[in-house]
Amino acid sequence: MVVHVDLNDADVDRIFKALADATRRDIVWRTLSAEASVSELATQYDMSFAAVQKHVAVLEGAGLVTKLPRGRERIVRGNPQAVQRAQALLDSYAQLWRDRVDRLDALLTPRET
């Protein structure tokens, strides 16, 4: 059974592939709390500026962050709506499985006669 939230399969794939990496999850977390330049983000990780830029590009492609020019810097902001859509998808899967467990439980519970 396919669960539908306002995301198509390609969107879901991009979001969860982006979130599969710990550094990218941390970037989303940080930029949901406060916007940051790519340079500021790069100081937080033991990797090159270019590597952080690539992580941001993956997140931007998934719609989890936006990158805006501000002077010579690029400011990264988390996109709470994209995170909420991903959460809604996970919630719908959780409800699907709760319903299945409830039905199984009802089948396995002895009936009084």
Task: Tell me the per-residue pLDDT of 63-109, one tens digit each, with 9 for 90 and over.
Answer: 999 999 999 999 999 999 999 988 988 898 888 888 888 888 888 88
Residue 5 has a pLDDT of: 59
Residue 108 has a pLDDT of: 84
* Long-range contacts formed by 85-91: CB under 8 A, 24+ apart: 85/5, 85/6, 85/7, 85/15, 86/7, 86/15, 86/16, 86/19, 88/5, 89/3, 89/5, 89/7, 89/12
Residues 6+ apart with CB under 8 A from 88: 5
Domains of the chain: 9-79 (1.10.10.10)
Q: Structure pTM?
A: 0.79
Cα separation of 92 and 84, whole Å? Answer: 12
pLDDT in tens, 46-67: 999 999 999 999 999 999 999 9
Tokens matching residue 12: 């879901």
pLDDT in tens, 4-43: 557 788 888 999 999 999 999 999 999 999 999 999 999 9
Residue 1 has a pLDDT of: 45
Higher pLDDT, 1 or 23: 23
Q: What percent of the chain has pLDDT over 70?
A: 95
